[in-house]
Structure 1
């Protein structure tokens, strides 16, 4: 990877101009690659800060639809249940979400959503938990395809009504793909992305992989996996991202209902997708668009990023399509040494990463001091 967008579920998240400047100062001396910052949407708590954030140069604004938020840290509450302590802000009402869309539309920035309906999840999860079940399919019954479908449909409707430029993050279901396809066919300013874990894993893999595989939105069924690939093929899904969400092995080892969701994904993203090219699932040209050109265009940093035009940043990932390796959790460079792909054989490996003309990675190891800079929409 040559540029990474920092999601606003850090501590503290990028929620106002002060935190934007603080995070920029924090990351700049550490970053080996260039980076952009997402701004978090906290409803009326930071609605007045959105114009300043937009002017400062956030990539876009993200709303974690369906999540409760800690009042003190503004961190996401992964497993919210009604009646939790007073430090938790409950998920917003539909009217409050609509107001968020209105406010983002005024900035002209992209509004990205994590699409899960909290009320539906709370009801269905409680029904399943009362049975005493603790298996992966029980988790899916508590967070079903419907939870994504209704949220995406509402997001599309709110986008249409307010003019907000909607981006649907980490799409997981056939129903969402179909809804987004219809909206795009009607000219809606909507884009969508998915992630490798939804393309290569399904509920059938849980017995072998275990709790590491718990991600929100959860990995669904084979039929959804197939429709996601169709969505990539027909242009409904235009971006593939990592949704990198590290946790410690200790945090991921426990009761399926209570452990946090997410796993590292940045380092395995390119090898998994290059392997898919070698398997004939897509072309190198298509993959280049999904990982580079399309996100650069959507988030306003093209052609400086995502192109090889004269005068733009010399960002290159050089790959060896014949090189083979086995993904090993212990070899990850993330502090979080967990992955659902431990032991996976892949063919097609990034062998050199060049950022603005400087070789940052060679043969899997970092070979350059930090030199990353913040990237802002043009």
Structure 2
């Protein structure tokens, strides 16, 4: 007898890009059977009128744990994920302490064990020569990939990014030169790992920022702010990174892409056979610079949200496969930090809980299809990072299931979010299409926008085939 039967739902297949009315049967946490045949189970869920998608995978989350738990922590963050239809998350490494070697990876995996409401993986952080010989140990310990903040100085004590770096500044690791960065690519290639980069040319940004006379600029002048962090900053870094990936054979992944120029570079590189993948984030797809007067400083993220033309290019890149998937870049801050001068406040907002609803709403508006959502939220992230038994609704895969009501309309509201600091730029936006039940390995973990039960997340096995 099966443990769970989900009957009468419309099953969304990202591989075949089709939807079929099928029953799903679960045994020991995995999908044991699919089809139209009727069978008994210890528990049966009537999914009539609902769509069943593979659990979402968010590969870009800053849960701030340890080191900044006043902003977010793993328990709150993974609760938000579960309610939003996300069943696997990858946590970024720039915490305090940071994840710099295999020992750090194992410690963090163990630390999260009793706090996770969804399955999880860990990123490692590259500091150049300082931990070049530790990159392989992170892979061996289970790190999904290695992140590198291109061109940024790093605080030696907290490992936070230093945005106002000047030469000679104390207690920081200076930005790496191209030779040091090339050494990272070469080592990544030798280790058969993934190197993911935050792609902004910080030297250009520093120069443009210095040239801007902030004394004559309003605190909320988004156009002036954007002039200091233009598309060129992304273009320069992406171009250099692609050249290094081509030369070394390293697998390059470009995080949170924002610009037409960047998309065009990735499209050409893929056509040339370079081992490169890329993502964008929901805020770049659903907001543009023109929205700032209505949305305000809550939409400050790095890299900055750009023009409608850039937004259109991102959608085109996602639809044609130039961009492989989307990830939230979930990065909350305290409410009081997101007030005041646009130039001084921190960047980032909640995203893990709203990512799937935003994409479902795009389906309701006719922009994309449900199989496409399953592809860019589940299948492709699992394939690229080698997350075992995730991303598809197939026999033998984990029974990570999201039941979606495509007729349900309600607004995103900050007060309804489950993050520790529930702040999003989408507060008040009406959404049609919502996750109404989330199952992790066959166990109900969220229903009707609330968490159900206790933490039960496990480490995800990430074995990227690069």
Q: 1:298 — aligned with what?
A: 384
Question: TM-score if structure 1 supplies the norm length?
Answer: 0.97
Q: 1:110 — aligned with what?
A: 194
Matches within 5 A, 1:25-64: 25-64=110-149
Per-residue deviation, residues 84-127 of structure 1 (Å, max 9, x unmatched): 74012221111111111111111111111110001111101111
Question: What SS does structure 1 have at the residue aligned with 2:278?
Answer: strand
Q: Which moved more, 1:142-151 or 1:127-136?
A: 127-136
Question: What SS does structure 2 have at the residue aligned with 1:267?
Answer: coil
Q: 2:240 — aligned with what?
A: 154
Q: Going by fraction, where is helix more abundant, 1 or 2?
A: 1
Q: 2:92 — aligned with what?
A: 7
Q: 1:201 — aligned with what?
A: 287
Q: 1:99 — aligned with what?
A: 183
Residues 21 and 182 (structure 1 numbering): CA distance in 2 closer, same or farther, change over 3 Å?
A: same
Q: Distance in 2 between matches of 1:67 and 1:275?
A: 36
Residues 2 and 84 (structure 1 numbering): CA distance in 2 closer, same or farther, change over 3 Å?
A: farther
Is 1:215 the counterpart of 2:301? The answer is: yes
Structure 2, gaps ≥5 residues long: 1-85
Per-residue deviation, residues 242-289 of structure 1 (Å, max 9, x unmatched): 000010111111221111111110001011010001111111111100
Instruction: Answer with 1 or 2: which has the greater Rg.
Output: 2
TM-aligned CA deviation for residue 212 of structure 1: 1.1
Q: 2:418 — aligned with what?
A: 333
2:357 to 271, 282, 288: 271
Per-residue deviation, residues 214-234 of structure 1 (Å, max 9, x unmatched): 100000000000111111111
Q: 2:441 — aligned with what?
A: 356
Is 1:119 the counterpart of 2:203? The answer is: yes
Matched pairs, number: 376
Q: Going by fraction, where is strand more abundant, 1 or 2?
A: 2
Q: Which 4+ runs in 1 deviate beyond 4 A?
A: none
TM-aligned CA deviation for residue 188 of structure 1: 1.4
Q: Distance in 1 between matches of 2:267 and 2:232?
A: 17
Is 1:315 the counterpart of 2:400? The answer is: yes
Q: Are the counterparts in 1 of residues 102 and 140 from structure 2 also a CA contact under 8 Å?
A: no
Is 1:24 the counterpart of 2:109? The answer is: yes
Q: Distance in 2 between matches of 1:139 and 1:246?
A: 21
Q: Distance in 2 between matches of 1:84 and 1:323?
A: 56
Q: Are the counterparts in 2 of residues 246 and 262 from structure 1 also a CA contact under 8 Å?
A: yes
Q: Are the counterparts in 2 of residues 62 and 112 from structure 1 also a CA contact under 8 Å?
A: yes
Q: Distance in 2 between matches of 1:146 and 1:2?
A: 36
With a CA cutoff of 8 Å and minimum separation of 6, indicate the structure with the bigger relative contact order. 2
TM-aligned CA deviation for residue 350 of structure 1: 0.4
Question: What SS does structure 2 have at the residue aligned with 1:156?
Answer: helix
Indicate the RMSD between aligned Cα atoms, in angstroms.
1.2
TM-aligned CA deviation for residue 298 of structure 1: 0.3
TM-aligned CA deviation for residue 239 of structure 1: 0.5
Q: Are the counterparts in 1 of residues 103 and 141 from structure 2 also a CA contact under 8 Å?
A: no
Q: Distance in 2 between matches of 1:131 and 1:159?
A: 42
Q: Are the counterparts in 2 of residues 32 and 372 from structure 1 also a CA contact under 8 Å?
A: yes
Q: Are the counterparts in 1 of residues 257 and 279 from structure 2 also a CA contact under 8 Å?
A: yes
Q: Distance in 2 between matches of 1:139 and 1:226?
A: 21
Q: Distance in 1 between matches of 2:438 and 2:214?
A: 50
Q: Are the counterparts in 2 of residues 67 and 80 from structure 1 also a CA contact under 8 Å?
A: no
Q: 2:164 — aligned with what?
A: 80
Q: Distance in 2 between matches of 1:253 and 1:85?
A: 27
Q: Are the counterparts in 1 of residues 437 and 444 from structure 2 also a CA contact under 8 Å?
A: yes
Structure 1, gaps ≥5 residues long: none
